[in-house]
Every structure is written in structure tokens, then in C-alpha cells.
């Protein structure tokens, strides 16, 4: 059995491994290698799997006092239902909002090592009140973008063929958001759906087929660019989609370019970033730490007292690509979680009022998972085992980071404009902050609310990333992924 650290809101894998069950040395990077899904063997009966989950929860769970004193595995027909019963008390307290779960070793490895996933290659945002569905982002090299579907398109109807189209409004009315997920079909290669759309490309009906694609963490279209504000002022903009291993080289290349151009003001767009590898989050901090001492703390991980030997402190490690920011505007929403929050939280002590949260309140996940593997069953238990904090020991932002930033500016997520476009509402407000303009503060009354979505001029609604009841590993890390 092997265990790896992870923190994610929608989820986040900390890229640290401990040798064996009792701990040991640590190392950065992804520590598991993809393996085929095994055929269940001895040791994989329902009761054996439940007993394995219970034993590890008792040993590692960050909130052991919340576990039932005498759980009854026989009362549950699945491992997932049994696990949910174990975390029910912590969930009612807002400390474990389904952050602890069972997943597939093979599927998770495929995503974290390379971004591999099967789907149309879009993020979908819902306006449940108005019963509308929007494309929030489309990924390069995936079927949707190749078919001309991109951010700003609205999905009006879904079907298995042109003759079976059902309106999104009708699906919402009859079945809610899970009905939309069901209509889009399983996350398997070869699944085809017909979509009726409207947007910049006009009204059209397209049939597209899900395929394997590799998600690029930083978009080649808008992921990293320098914005010229005039008068000699330039701002570095970077949009990171997810914290996976392949992001490291892209981050280094992007920041090397910023450094070479003398950029010292930044907009860091993490509005849809649900988390990922802790090692990549720490690298992000190092790249922002060109003017930091190696004695300065960027992030901390703290286990429960009897596991304190696994505690870690990451101090800034400036490198040849590191920049020295004087001001940073972070763009976030309710989909911004875990590793994204770790990066934001880590910079607050050093920038103070020269940092701001723009957009909406973040998700609120100051805790992280380790991975416990039972390889013969393809079971990986992601159990909340540690809290994360910054140099000021800010470790309890369960209601989001709006209350932790000295400055916040509320802004819409304007899907009618491309990401990275200076006219887009959140980016425009971020630039306004860098320019010293006043703004309306973000409410810090809970990070589980919705983000503001502006689908077209004058039409403001409340949205959420579309999330299945049973998300794939990729969908846990990339909110709204289909």
C-alpha cells in the first residue's frame, strides 16, 4: 500500500509520498505510475473493502473525534455509502464537504500524470434559476473546440441525435442539474451527443463525439500574456486551469518570460481552478518569490497530533525564473479551491494590501488529502489528513478566502468575452485594482455560494460549474469538465 498527499477542493493531490503506512521521507512530484485497472481479487469483497476504509479512517482522519463510535458496515450496500456515513458529522460542521472519498487508482493516475481525460473538452456553467447552460471554457486539442464550440456559446438543447433533442430548460425543470449530466452521457470514448447552440458562431446544431484528450494546464491561446496598459506600464496575466505535473514546465516558461520583460504587477486568474498537486502549488509560490528569503514560509501542512512527524513547512525557493511582484490581483470564484487557495493564502502575508481577491469568494478548503491505495481492488482512499496554512498560520478558511484578503473586489465572470480579454468583467476589475481604483467588496459569508455569471450585456445571473453526482477524477480537479 502506498500513500500520497493531496489537497483539493473539488480536489487536490499533494505530490508528496510517504514510504509505507507509517510515514517516512518525502519527495516532490507525482509518485505513482499508471497501471491497468486490475481484476478484483481476494480481499476485495464489500466487507473487506469497508473494513479497510474504516481502519485507515481511524488511523489518518484529521477529525477522528467526529467518527462514529460503533459504525455498522453491514447497513450499507456500497463502500461509498459507508464512507459517507463516517464523514457525516464533519460534513455537518462544514469541515469535510465530501472531500474524503474512494476513487480509481488507474483513472486518477492518468489525469495527474498527463491530464488525460475522455470527453467533449469543455467546462459547463449552469444558471439553474434561469435554466440555462453555457460554455465557460473550451480546451485545445479536444472535440468541442475543433467543432467550433467555445466560451460564450449557450447550449439550448441536448439529444442523442437531431431527432431526440430536448431543451435545456425542460431538462432542468424535470430533472435538475443532474438531468443535464445524464443527458450529456457517460465519460467514455465514442459517446456522441447532438447539441443545439447559439453564440458568436450563430445558431447551429452539431453532433460531437467524446474522445481522449490531454488537458493543457496553461492555454496556448490566452493562458499567459503581457497586457500593455500604456505609459510604459505592463501587467503579467496568467490563467492556470489545474495543478497537474505538466503545469510545472509551462509555469517556469511563462514566468521566465515575465522576468525577462521586467514585469512586477500580475493578474493570476484561478477562477475555475479546483486544485491539484501541492508540489505544483509550491512551485507557483517559488516563482512568485523572487524577492523572498529562503527563511520565509510559503505553506505549511499540519497533521493530527499523533501524526505530527509528517508535518511539513515549505519555505520559498526562488529560482532563475522567479519574479518579484509588487502587486497581485487574484481572480477567484466559488470554483477556486485547494491548491489555488494555497497559492493565494501563501502570498497574503508578504503583499498585504498590495494583493486582492477579485471576482467572488473562493470555495473554502484549508485541508488536504493523502492517498491510501489498495491496488488489487483499484481502490484509492482520499482521506482528509492534514490542514494547510501560510506564514501567519491561517488554516481555517472553510468559508472561503474573502475574509482573509485585506482587499477584495466583486466582479462578474463575463462568459460573453474570452478569458484574457481586458474587457472581460473580472479581468477589467483586476486591472482596476492594480490601477488603484475603488470597488465593491466581496461578501465573506461563506465560500459555498455561486459565482456571478454575465452571459450577455445586461443579463446577470448566478451560476455554478456543472458537477455530476459521481464525478470522475478529472472532473473533481477541473470543475465543470465534460
Give yes or no for residue 38 having a pLDDT over 50. no
Which among 175, 126, 116, 102 is positioned nearest to 378, based on CA atoms?
102
Which among 7, 8, 1, 16 is positioned nearest to 310, based on CA atoms?
16
Give yes or no for residue 254 having a pLDDT over 50. yes
Is 294 in the same domain as 350?
A: yes
Q: Look at residue 161 and tell me if it is in a domain.
A: yes
Is 123 in the same domain as 234?
A: no
Residue 72, all three cell numbers: 455498522
Q: Look at residue 381 and tell me if it is in a domain.
A: no
Other CB atoms within a 10 A radius of the CB of residue 178 amount to 14
Is 138 in the same domain as 162?
A: yes
Q: Look at residue 463 and tell me if it is in a domain.
A: no
Note the pLDDT of residue 115: 67
Which among 440, 358, 453 is positioned nearest to 412, based on CA atoms?
453
Residue appearing with cell numbers 497533521: 303
Q: How confident is the model at residue 444 (pLDDT cuts 50, 70, 90)?
A: confident
Is 95 in the same domain as 123?
A: no
Point out the domain boundary residue: 73, 94, 114.
114
E strand or H helix that includes residue 255 = helix 247-260
Q: Look at residue 341 and tell me if it is in a domain.
A: yes
C-alpha distances in Å from residue 80, one per residue of 66, 103, 295, 321 = 18, 9, 43, 44
Q: How confident is the model at residue 117 (pLDDT cuts 50, 70, 90)?
A: confident
Least confident of 209-218, 399-408, 456-465: 456-465
Is 125 in the same domain as 109?
A: no
Give yes or no for residue 32 having a pLDDT over 70. no
Q: Look at residue 473 and tell me if it is in a domain.
A: no
Point out the domain boundary residue: 214, 233, 258.
214
Are the beta carbons of 295 and 464 closer than 8 angstroms?
Answer: no
Is 35 in the same domain as 23?
A: yes
Beta partners for residue 206, in sequence order: 195
The dihedrals phi and psi of 200, each to the nearest 5 degrees, come to -60, -30
pTM given for the model: 0.88
Q: How confident is the model at residue 180 (pLDDT cuts 50, 70, 90)?
A: very high
Is 237 in the same domain as 277?
A: yes
Q: Look at residue 480 and tell me if it is in a domain.
A: no
Are the beta carbons of 96 and 90 closer than 8 angstroms?
Answer: yes
Q: Look at residue 471 and tell me if it is in a domain.
A: no
Q: How confident is the model at residue 446 (pLDDT cuts 50, 70, 90)?
A: low
Note the pLDDT of residue 463: 60
- The number of folded domains in the chain is 3
Is 237 in the same domain as 201?
A: no
Long-range contact set of residues 314-320: C-beta below 8 Å, sequence gap at least 24? 314/282, 314/285, 316/285, 316/286, 316/289, 316/292, 317/286, 317/289, 318/286, 318/289, 318/290, 318/291, 318/292, 318/294, 319/252, 319/286, 319/287, 320/256
Q: How confident is the model at residue 113 (pLDDT cuts 50, 70, 90)?
A: confident
Distance between CA atoms of 104 and 120, rounded to whole angstroms?
A: 21
Give the pLDDT mean for 286-307: 97
Is 102 in the same domain as 143?
A: no
Least confident of 28-42, 313-327, 385-399, 438-452: 28-42
Residue 278, all three cell numbers: 501541492
Note the pLDDT of residue 112: 74
Residue 263, all three cell numbers: 514585469
Is 110 in the same domain as 124?
A: no
Q: Are strands 327-332 and 355-359 parallel, antiparallel or unpaired?
A: parallel
Is 417 in the same domain as 359?
A: yes
Distance between CA atoms of 221 and 139, rounded to whole angstroms?
A: 10
Least confident of 105-119, 225-239, 281-295: 105-119
The residue range of the domain holding 328 is: 224-301+313-365+389-458
For residue 171, what is the domain's CATH number?
2.30.42.10
Give the model confidence (pLDDT) of 265-281 as tens digits: 999 999 999 998 889 99
Q: How confident is the model at residue 109 (pLDDT cuts 50, 70, 90)?
A: confident
Q: Look at residue 374 and tell me if it is in a domain.
A: no
Distance between CA atoms of 251 and 284, rounded to whole angstroms?
A: 7
Note the pLDDT of residue 33: 33
Give the pLDDT mean for 245-259: 97
Distance between CA atoms of 95 and 365, rounded to whole angstroms?
A: 8
Amino acid at each position: 500500500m502506498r500513500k500520497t498527499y493531496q489537497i483539493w477542493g473539488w480536489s487536490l493531490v499533494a505530490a508528496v509520498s510517504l514510504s509505507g503506512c507509517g510515514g517516512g521521507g518525502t519527495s516532490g512530484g507525482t509518485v505513482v505510475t499508471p497501471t491497468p485497472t486490475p481484476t478484483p481479487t481476494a480481499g476485495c469483497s464489500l466487507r473487506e473493502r469497508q473494513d479497510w476504509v474504516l481502519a485507515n479512517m481511524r488511523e489518518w482522519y484529521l477529525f477522528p473525534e467526529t467518527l462514529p463510535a460503533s459504525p455498522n458496515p453491514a447497513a450499507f450496500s456500497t463502500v461509498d455509502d459507508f464512507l459517507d456515513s463516517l464523514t457525516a458529522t464533519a460534513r455537518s460542521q462544514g469541515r469535510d464537504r465530501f472531500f474524503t472519498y474512494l476513487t480509481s487508482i488507474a483513472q486518477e493516475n492518468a489525469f495527474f500524470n498527463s491530464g488525460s481525460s475522455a470527453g467533449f473538452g469543455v467546462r459547463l456553467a449552469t444558471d439553474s434559476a434561469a435554466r440555462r447552460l453555457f460554455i465557460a471554457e473550451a480546451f485545445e486539442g479536444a472535440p468541442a473546440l475543433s467543432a467550433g464550440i467555445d466560451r460564450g456559446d449557450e447550449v439550448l438543447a441536448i439529444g442523442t441525435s437531431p431527432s431526440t433533442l430536448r431543451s435545456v430548460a425542460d431538462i432542468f425543470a424535470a430533472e435538475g442539474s443532474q438531468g443535464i449530466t445524464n443527458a450529456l452521457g457517460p465519460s467514455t470514448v465514442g459517446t456522441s451527443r447532438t447539441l443545439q447552440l447559439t453564440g458568436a458562431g450563430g445558431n447551429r446544431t452539431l453532433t460531437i463525439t467524446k474522445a481522449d484528450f490531454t488537458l493543457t494546464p496553461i492555454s496556448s491561446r490566452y493562458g499567459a500574456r503581457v497586457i500593455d496598459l500604456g505609459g510604459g506600464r505592463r501587467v503579467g496575466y496568467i490563467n492556470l486551469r489545474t495543478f497537474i505535473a505538466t503545469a510545472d514546465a509551462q509555469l517556469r516558461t511563462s514566468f521566465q518570460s515575465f522576468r525577462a520583460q521586467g514585469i512586477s504587477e500580475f493578474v493570476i486568474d484561478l477562477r475555475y481552478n479546483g486544485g491539484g498537486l501541492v508540489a505544483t502549488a509550491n512551485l507557483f509560490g517559488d516563482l512568485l518569490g523572487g524577492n523572498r528569503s529562503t527563511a520565509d514560509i510559503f505553506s505549511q501542512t499540519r497533521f493530527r497530533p499523533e501524526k505530527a512527524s509528517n508535518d511539513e513547512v515549505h519555505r520559498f525557493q526562488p529560482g532563475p525564473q522567479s519574479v518579484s511582484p509588487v502587486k497581485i490581483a487574484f481572480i477567484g470564484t466559488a470554483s477556486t479551491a485547494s491548491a489555488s487557495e494555497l497559492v493565494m493564502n501563501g502570498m497574503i502575508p508578504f503583499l498585504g494590501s498590495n494583493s486582492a481577491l477579485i471576482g467572488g469568494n473562493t470555495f473554502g478548503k484549508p485541508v488536504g488529502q493523502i492517498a491510501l491505495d489498495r491496488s488489487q481492488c483499484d481502490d484509492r482512499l482520499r482521506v482528509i489528513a492534514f490542514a494547510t496554512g501560510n506564514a501567519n498560520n491561517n488554516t481555517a478558511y472553510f468559508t472561503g478566502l474573502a475574509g482573509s484578503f485585506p482587499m477584495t473586489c466583486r466582479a462578474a465572470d463575463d462568459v460573453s468575452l474570452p478569458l484574457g480579454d481586458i474587457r472581460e468583467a473580472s479581468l477589467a476589475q483586476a486591472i482596476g485594482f492594480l490601477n488603484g481604483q475603488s470597488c465593491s467588496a466581496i461578501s465573506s459569508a461563506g465560500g459555498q455560494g455561486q459565482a456571478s455569471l454575465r452571459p450577455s450585456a445586461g443579463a446577470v445571473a448566478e451560476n455554478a460549474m456543472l458537477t455530476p453526482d459521481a464525478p470522475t477524477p478529472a472532473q473533481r480537479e477541473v470543475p465543470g469538465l465534460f
